[in-house]
Structure 1
Amino acid sequence: MNPLPFLFFFILSCTTKPAETHTQATQENPQKVLKPEFKALLDAANLNGSILIFDSQTKTFYTNDFAWSEKGQLPASTFKIPNAIIALETGVVENDSVLLEWHGEKRVFEVWEQDLIFRKAFQVSCVPCFQEIARNIGGERMNAYLDKLGYGGTIQVDSVTIDNFWLHGESRINQFEQIDFLSRFYQSELPISQRTEALMKNIMVIEDKGTYKISGKTGWTYSDERNNGWFVGYIESEDKVHFFATNFEPKDNSNIEAFNAARKDLTYEGLRVLGILK
């Protein structure tokens, strides 16, 4: 049984909103290196897709499949990164401790069935919480900020689709675009306040071991009978930063729990292949 039934929505007509394209990293003539070791990791897990890692020092992209990395996918919950940024910038959410109340309705996961502060809602990927935030931002402001931030490839959003466009429909972002957005965010190149940037960099931390720190966000959609999973972010280690965007789909849906865990696990293994994560 698929764990995400809430992702089924009626197909709604939207206005196509292509975000302003920023490809700073790719405009610097990066090297592109094919890593068959990444493919072996995905094959062993019965997955189709790619692990894309960018070394910002040497301007080198590593992946097992450049064609897959260039293919647009629904953003899924990776969109919580720009959604959270826009919420903070517009004042829809004042800070990372704002309480998002639960009103007793049934939700897909038990961890969502409670009052959550904004930071925790991001970290447990509370979809209903961020749907409410998106509705409060509204279609007009969402479009304006997505243009301002230069987010993604083609994003479809209007007043009707405001709370589901990242989960269902025709909005698309690819792995290179994910890394470009994260790179500009990390390097303080987004037109946002220092306060928002600092709050987000704290909210996004997943693991801090002293010798390295990993920040980012997972995502998962089920659409047209396809499960599609994301893990995007960056790792800081030894005074260096590497960006990653993993996207894949199971060859069959027989082991969804393993697919869920693989988003992070295989990204970590890819980082180990490159000697970034020990």
Structure 2
Amino acid sequence: MSRLLLLFSLAVFISCDSESGGKAYHDDYKTAFDTILDNYDLSGSVLIYDPQQQTYYSNDFEWSKRDFLPASTFKIPNAIIALETGIMKSDTSIIKWDGKKRDFESWEKDLTLRDAFQASCVPCFQEIARKIGTASMKTYLNKFHYNDMDVTTENIDSFWLKGKSHISSFEQIDFLERFLTKKLPILNTTRESMLKIFKIEENQTYKLSGKTGWSYNETNNNGWFVGFLEKDHKKYYFSLNAIPKDANKMEKFADGRKQAIYDALRAMKLI
């Protein structure tokens, strides 16, 4: 390599590292992540952040910077705000079913906050959002630096499902990291309840917590799976955002969002 090319490459590296706040971007697993997404007929990005090494891994960093509707991943801040305002007292607080027909039978019963979160009960969290109200919702989202939510009185129970609200994979991970490292201005009781609400799987090796999301905004289905892995006293954060390769072939879409992350973590030998 010529001296000029070496100096140019070093300058680019330093510039990128500086812009990312000292964090590095690696595409070591690009081929593996692309293959995993292909296996589930998905196009999109897998973004995994290792805070111990201050390193992001992805197959598509540009996609990870793009904004999309948060969909049901917004149940994370929605639940936090419900706990902070006292609308919900804990993870076991009951959300009563109003007896009306719902999209899924699993939603047609009284649910604890944790069960509603895990079942992704849309009507449950719409009710919570209405109880929080527009003013308090805006106040807490601003307090949490959970930006770019278009909240109005008219859309208080749907702004995360349709419309102009948006978030990127990098922003999802930033919020999750601030939550898990106690940098969100919330009560310890809220954090402890949320850790119970979040948890998907725990075994002798690791604990995995997260939330899926699925939106359809006029043109495309868009899917999320965001969360964090705790293993050997270390933490890793992940965010998948993807669309189906073929809108007529949706068979793998729902499960594929979660399974792709599990496969990516296996590829990195984290689980």
Give unpaired runs (5+ residues) of structure 1.
Answer: 1-25
Of 187, 206, 210, which aligns to 1:193?
A: 187
- Shift in Å at residue 46 of structure 1? 2.1
| Distance (Å, rounded) in 1 between the aligned partners of 2:91 and 2:23 | 36
Q: Residues 133-155 of structure 1, C-alpha deviation per residue, up to 9 Å, x if partnerless? A: 00000011000000001114x11
Partner of 1:259: 253
| Distance (Å, rounded) in 1 between the aligned partners of 2:237 and 2:198 | 14
- Shift in Å at residue 256 of structure 1? 2.3
**SS of residue in 1 equivalent to 2:26:** strand
Runs of 4+ with >6 A deviation: none
- Shift in Å at residue 276 of structure 1? 0.8
Partner of 1:22: none
Match status 1:31 vs 2:24: yes
User: How does 1:62-211 map onto structure 2 within 5 Å?
Assistant: 62-152=57-147, 154-211=148-205
What is the Cα-based RMSD across aligned positions, in Å? 1.1
Query: Percent identity over the alignment?
Result: 50
| Distance (Å, rounded) in 2 between the aligned partners of 1:27 and 1:63 | 15
* Residues 45 and 63 in structure 2, CA contact (< 8 A), matched pair in contact too: yes
**SS of residue in 2 equivalent to 1:81:** helix
- Shift in Å at residue 93 of structure 1? 1.1
> Larger deviation: 138-147 or 217-226?
217-226
| Distance (Å, rounded) in 2 between the aligned partners of 1:97 and 1:236 | 23
* Residues 226 and 238 in structure 2, CA contact (< 8 A), matched pair in contact too: yes
**SS of residue in 2 equivalent to 1:144:** helix
- Shift in Å at residue 27 of structure 1? 4.9
Q: Residues 103-155 of structure 1, C-alpha deviation per residue, up to 9 Å, x if partnerless? A: 22111111001111111111111000000000000011000000001114x11
| Distance (Å, rounded) in 2 between the aligned partners of 1:160 and 1:48 | 33
Question: Which one has the bigger helix percentage?
Answer: 2
| Distance (Å, rounded) in 2 between the aligned partners of 1:111 and 1:87 | 22
- Shift in Å at residue 44 of structure 1? 2.9
| Distance (Å, rounded) in 2 between the aligned partners of 1:151 and 1:98 | 25
* Residues 91 and 196 in structure 2, CA contact (< 8 A), matched pair in contact too: no
Instruction: Compare CA radii of gyration and give the structure with the larger one.
Output: 2
Q: Residues 64-83 of structure 1, C-alpha deviation per residue, up to 9 Å, x if partnerless? A: 00110000000000000000
**SS of residue in 2 equivalent to 1:155:** coil
> Larger deviation: 217-226 or 186-195?
217-226
| Distance (Å, rounded) in 1 between the aligned partners of 2:35 and 2:198 | 29
Q: Residues 148-173 of structure 1, C-alpha deviation per residue, up to 9 Å, x if partnerless? A: 01114x11001111000000001000
